[in-house]
Structure 1
Amino acid sequence: MYYNHLFNSIKIRGLEIKNRVIFPAMGTKMLNGDSYVTDQLIDYHVARAKGGNGLNFTEVCSVYSKSSPKNFLALSDDKYIPGMKKLVDAIHKEGGLIGAQLWLGGSAVLFGDSSAMVVLPTDFQASPDYVIPGASIEIIKEAVEAFGTAAKRAVEVGFDTVEFHAGHNYTPHSFLSKAFNKRRDEYGGSFENRSRFLLECIESIRNNIPEDMPLFMRIDAFDDYVEDGLTIEEVIEFCKLSKNAGVDVVDVSRGNFSSAAIKYEVPPVDLPRGFNVDNATRIKNETGLVTVAVGRINDPEQADEIIKDCKADMVVIGRGQLADPEFCNKAMKGKADSIIRCVGCNQGCYDGFNSKDVPFITCLRNPALGREKEYELRRTEKPKKVLIIGGGVSGLQAAITLKERGHIPVICEASDSLGGQFVLAGAAPRKEEMKLAAIHMGEECKKAGIEIRLSTKVTPEVIKSVNPDEVIVAVGSSPIKLNIPGSDLANVTNSHNVLAGKVKIEGNVVVVGGGLVGLEVAEYLSGKVGKITAVEMLNEVAKDLGQLRKICVMENLYEEGITTITNAKCVEIKENSITIDKQGVLEEIPCDYTVVSIGSRARDHKEISQYCDENNIPYHIIGDAIKARRALNCVKEAVDVAREI
């Protein structure tokens, strides 16, 4: 067995867990309209249990019926027991373990259901004409009892453990933190009083579960980005009190949804891997509790080192197992190099969860997420030779899926390397993991024995020589050029050339375009050139970034001193300046170089399409070859086409 520390068992009270890996509570939107478990949710959890995970946790489960929002799991009523039992039984059938995360969501319940009661310690001005009242003593007592009743239902269902969620600005955290709790009664003011509600909830839970069932607790290491928030010293003191009240395991997280600290809840690629581990270590050492480390732990070697060095007793590997449900099995079998790694893009998991247009979470690296049954591998009975034109991530994903199904893919790539724009994106600050993921896909194609032809621009003659049964066009996109006076000057280039290291830039620089790529170029150049200004025609920069990546990028722009100008259109480029039209007023910005980053346009593939039409060769156009979009959409398209052939 490899990674012996990570895959060593651990016993907590009467529960023996086969390894130290936890698949944590993460919102999925895989429920029906009234918080019931669905077969889709069961398949999602079962895939990770079959993949070797030690302990699954459900996403947040509401405990208090008055504050139980629609579309979130619940244990607030007996009516939820049958569905939960079906989930638990399915996990147990695969030899897995599962816990229920008990949750009272505070103002977060409004994100799912505006009719749900908001339980907060203090009056909260939700809008100019609406104040959410602080909880009455009666409501507090009902909530405490609800935690116990929900725990009792969890036991009846057959859950192996429960977790009390006391972090992330939900109701318990809000009571504990001075930043949110301004009460003046026995539930506010002093540290002892602010701890009271949480300790009563813990005792209520402990009194309703068996003596040999462990009780987990999720908590923030400290408060970020809020005034007068929790310190780690206060959290340690509270953990000691919690231990006396019956908590066995502390799951050390960070973040709150009331500030930019939300970036720590689902940390994007911008945050260092394992950024929160040292906090877990300190809490472990000073409390003696079994401790779980959380925060961008997505590599088995990294996770094994954490356990080996006694920095924590267990680790959360969440998005790592979204990207590859076989994460644990592959690591245990010494096949860690075949793990499909999470790249921290947040496109499918976090952004998808918060988008009204996305029915349930998914994953850039794993389009089968949430479609586990539908995407089960189907070997073809009629193998076909499929020519894939383009070796970017869409083309590579199509090739891998086709090969797994028994087809014969042939990749032709016009450049001398694989990975396309994903490799280019990896040149930007903090995004090396994306570059490594694209390179890994290329290596997996080679290991699978897929024929790859580099430096091969596909022409009708090439198609004829390959003689494919079908063709996939994945030629991607190229940068859009500015059509204004001066755009052809020698001191004008584009973002792709800069990130690829094809041009040398010096002096003051203006980046025309304040979207994702433009800002990445600005950051890439920071420290290498003089003053950097990003000009964007829309009313804000970073409009195409997800919420959490945007927080990180904007913070870094500020730290690097990069200037952004919005509502401004570049109308002319000169040798030593550019002219912008800012809402009808012309302004000149001095600069030595101009970098154009105004988006990409699908590359022309008419010659290929025409040849295929004339010769009755079925063809499929995928990814940016249709139009430039997020990699998430392009990869899913590649898998869907490869499954249909």
Structure 2
Amino acid sequence: MAFENVFSPIKIRGMEMRNRVIFPAMGTKMVGEDRMVNDQLINYHVARAIGGNGLNFTEVCSVYDKAAPKTFLAISDDKFISGLKNLTDVIHKAGAMAGIQLWLGGSAVLFADPTAMVITPSDLKLQENYVIKAATKEVINECIKAFGEGARRSVEAGFDAIEFHAGHNYTPHSFLSKAFNKRTDEYGGSLENRARFLLECIREIRANIPEDMPLFMRIDAHDDYLEDGLSIEDIIQFCKWAKEAGVDVLDVSRGNFSSAAIKYEVPPVDLPRGFNVENAARIKKETGMLTVAVGRINDPEQADKIIRDGKADMVVIGRAQLADPEFCNKSMNGKVEDIIRCVGCNQGCYDGYVSPNVPFITCLRNPDLGREAEFTLEKTNNPKKVLVVGGGVAGLQAAIELKDRGHNPILCEASDSLGGQFVLAGAAPRKGEMKDAAVSMGEMAKRKGIDIRLSTPVTSEVIKAINPDEVIIAAGAEPMKLNVPGSNLPHVTNSHDILAGNSLASGEVVVIGGGLVGLEVAEYLSGNVNKITVVEMLNEVAKDLGQLRKICVMESLYHESIKTITEAKCIEIKEKSIIIDRNGTIEEVPCDSVVVAIGAKSRDFSNLTEYCKENNIQYHVIGDAVKARRALNCIEEAVKVAREI
């Protein structure tokens, strides 16, 4: 077996896990307003358990009925036991252990359900005339008892382990951290007093579960971006007390939703892989407790080394198992090259979670996420020769899907390499994993025996020679041109050519366009030019970035001293400057080079559709060829079309 350290069994009290991989609690939006387990959630968990995972934790599960938001799991009443029992039964049948994360959400419930009660240690002022009052001692006692009752129900529901959530700014963490807890009674003041509520909850949980049932606790390694926040030394001391109270395992996370530290909760590609491992290692060493490492652990060798080096006893592999539910099986069987890699884009798992327009989380790399039952791959009974035009990620995904179903795809790419815009995106700072993913897709297509023809622009003659049954057009997009005087001057180039290494910029550089690509080009050039200014028409830059990636990119712009000018339109380019209209005021911005990054438009492929129409060949247009947009949408569309042929 490959990676024998991370895939070795571990016994904690009476629970024996087949390996040391944990699928963590992650919000899904798969739960209805009744707060009950449903088939969609069961199928989601079963796919990862069948895929070889060791221990599946539920997403946050409310223990206190008054503070239980709609569309979140709950265990605040006996009526929830049977549904949760259905979940544990199927996880066990698939060979994994089942854990439940007991949760009291604090001010986080406001975002999900304004009718839910907010349990906070101190008065919380949200608006001038809106203050949430601090929890009374009566409410505190009710919450402590609710954790105990939740634990009792968890045992009845067949869970093998419980996790007490004491991090991420939820109620327990808010009591522990001086940044939120301003109380003057026995629940506030010193660290010992601030820990009192949490330790009473832990003792109540422990009193309601069997001796051989392990108790995990999710903690933050320390507080980030918070004045008077917890230090790692505070956390270590608290964990020693928690150990005495009955906690067995520390799940070492990071982040809070009250500051930019939220980026650590669902860390985007901008953060280094394994960024929190050293914190877990120190906490393990100084507490002597079993410890779980968390934070962009998405490679089997990386996970194995963490265990091998003694930095943690287990690892959380979360989004990597969203991207590929077979991550563990493929790793164990030495098929690392077949793993569909998470790229830390956050487009489906976090941006989708916070978007009111997305029904449940999804994944750029795995459109089947949340649709595990209905999106099973079906072999075709009528194999067809399908011409795929374009070797970007949409075209590659379509070709792979077609091949897996038994069709005969022929992929033609105009350039001499595969991957398209995704490879270009991977040239930007901190995004090398995206380039690696695109390259990996191309290699996978080759291993599957797909007929790939590089340096082959598709014309009507090419279609005639191939004579396909159907055509999928994934021709992608090209940079939009800026139509102003001076746009053809020799010192003017575009974002694609800069990232591809086909053009250079020097001296003082102006980037026209402050969306994702414009900002990434600015970062890419930073350090190699004298000065960078980004000019954006809208009232802010980075409007097309998700929340967490935006935090990281904006921080980088600040550290790199990249200047941004908003609400400004470029109206002319000169040899040593550009002219902008800034809210009706004409200004001149000095520069030596200009990079245009105002977006992309679909390529013209009308000659191909006309030929298909004239010759009665059914065709489909997918990805950026429809319109330039997120890769998540393009890949989902590619899968849908390939499964309908």
Length-normalised TM-score, structure 2: 1.00
Residues in 1 aligned to 2:605 and 2:227: alpha-carbon distance in whole angstroms = 56
Residues in 2 aligned to 1:127 and 1:325: alpha-carbon distance in whole angstroms = 43
Partner of 1:483 in structure 2?
483
- Structure 1 position 582, deviation (Å): 0.5
| SS of residue in 2 equivalent to 1:538 | coil
| SS of residue in 2 equivalent to 1:59 | coil
Residues in 2 aligned to 1:262 and 1:504: alpha-carbon distance in whole angstroms = 36
Partner of 1:533 in structure 2?
533
CA RMSD of aligned residues (A): 0.5
Q: Map 1:241-256 onto structure 2 (within 5 A).
A: 241-256=241-256
Give the aligned residue type for 1:270.
Answer: D
| SS of residue in 2 equivalent to 1:506 | coil
Partner of 1:373 in structure 2?
373
Partner of 2:164 in structure 1?
164
Answering whether residue 27 of structure 2 is matched by residue 20 of structure 1, we say no
Deviations 1:25-56 (A, max 9, x none): 00000111221111010000000000000000
Residues in 2 aligned to 1:228 and 1:570: alpha-carbon distance in whole angstroms = 45
Q: Map 1:71-86 onto structure 2 (within 5 A).
A: 71-86=71-86
Residues in 1 aligned to 2:617 and 2:155: alpha-carbon distance in whole angstroms = 59
Q: Map 1:367-446 onto structure 2 (within 5 A).
A: 367-446=367-446
Residues in 2 aligned to 1:191 and 1:325: alpha-carbon distance in whole angstroms = 41
Q: Map 1:193-212 onto structure 2 (within 5 A).
A: 193-212=193-212
Answering whether residue 125 of structure 2 is matched by residue 125 of structure 1, we say yes
| SS of residue in 1 equivalent to 2:211 | coil
Deviations 1:103-158 (A, max 9, x none): 00000001110000000000010112100001000000000000000110010010
Give the aligned residue type for 2:391.
Answer: G
Q: Map 1:51-66 onto structure 2 (within 5 A).
A: 51-66=51-66
Partner of 2:617 in structure 1?
617
Partner of 1:524 in structure 2?
524
Give the aligned residue type for 1:138.
Answer: E
Residues in 1 aligned to 2:225 and 2:263: alpha-carbon distance in whole angstroms = 11
Partner of 2:134 in structure 1?
134
- Structure 1 position 374, deviation (Å): 1.1
- Structure 1 position 81, deviation (Å): 1.3
- Structure 1 position 83, deviation (Å): 1.2
Deviations 1:438-476 (A, max 9, x none): 000000000000000001010010001111110000000
Partner of 2:308 in structure 1?
308
Deviations 1:185-225 (A, max 9, x none): 00000111000000000001000010000000000000000
Answering whether residue 295 of structure 2 is matched by residue 282 of structure 1, we say no
| SS of residue in 2 equivalent to 1:7 | coil
Partner of 1:352 in structure 2?
352
Residues in 1 aligned to 2:7 and 2:18: alpha-carbon distance in whole angstroms = 7
- Structure 1 position 90, deviation (Å): 1.0
Residues in 2 aligned to 1:79 and 1:484: alpha-carbon distance in whole angstroms = 66
Answering whether residue 584 of structure 2 is matched by residue 566 of structure 1, we say no
| SS of residue in 1 equivalent to 2:53 | coil
| SS of residue in 1 equivalent to 2:59 | strand
Q: State whether residues 479 and 600 of structure 2, in contact with CA within 8 Å, keep that contact through their aligned partners in structure 1.
A: yes
Residues in 1 aligned to 2:334 and 2:455: alpha-carbon distance in whole angstroms = 34
Q: Give the paired residue count.
A: 645
| SS of residue in 1 equivalent to 2:185 | coil
Residues in 2 aligned to 1:129 and 1:602: alpha-carbon distance in whole angstroms = 50
Residues in 1 aligned to 2:612 and 2:79: alpha-carbon distance in whole angstroms = 57
Residues in 2 aligned to 1:107 and 1:504: alpha-carbon distance in whole angstroms = 49
Q: Map 1:207-286 onto structure 2 (within 5 A).
A: 207-286=207-286
Q: State whether residues 202 and 247 of structure 2, in contact with CA within 8 Å, keep that contact through their aligned partners in structure 1.
A: yes
Residues in 1 aligned to 2:323 and 2:174: alpha-carbon distance in whole angstroms = 32
Unaligned runs of 5+ in 1: none
| SS of residue in 1 equivalent to 2:60 | strand
Q: State whether residues 505 and 594 of structure 2, in contact with CA within 8 Å, keep that contact through their aligned partners in structure 1.
A: no
Q: State whether residues 424 and 496 of structure 2, in contact with CA within 8 Å, keep that contact through their aligned partners in structure 1.
A: yes
| SS of residue in 2 equivalent to 1:388 | strand
| SS of residue in 2 equivalent to 1:601 | strand
Answering whether residue 516 of structure 2 is matched by residue 542 of structure 1, we say no
Partner of 2:338 in structure 1?
338
Partner of 2:147 in structure 1?
147
- Structure 1 position 361, deviation (Å): 0.2
| SS of residue in 1 equivalent to 2:44 | helix
Residues in 2 aligned to 1:87 and 1:517: alpha-carbon distance in whole angstroms = 43
- Structure 1 position 569, deviation (Å): 0.5
Deviations 1:12-32 (A, max 9, x none): 000000100000000000111
Give the aligned residue type for 1:328.
Answer: C
Partner of 2:7 in structure 1?
7
Q: Map 1:450-529 onto structure 2 (within 5 A).
A: 450-529=450-529
- Structure 1 position 79, deviation (Å): 1.5
- Structure 1 position 628, deviation (Å): 0.3
Residues in 2 aligned to 1:3 and 1:300: alpha-carbon distance in whole angstroms = 7
Give the aligned residue type for 2:35.
Answer: S
- Structure 1 position 175, deviation (Å): 0.3
Partner of 1:183 in structure 2?
183
Deviations 1:476-516 (A, max 9, x none): 00000011111111111100000000012111000000000
Length-normalised TM-score, structure 1: 1.00
| SS of residue in 2 equivalent to 1:471 | strand
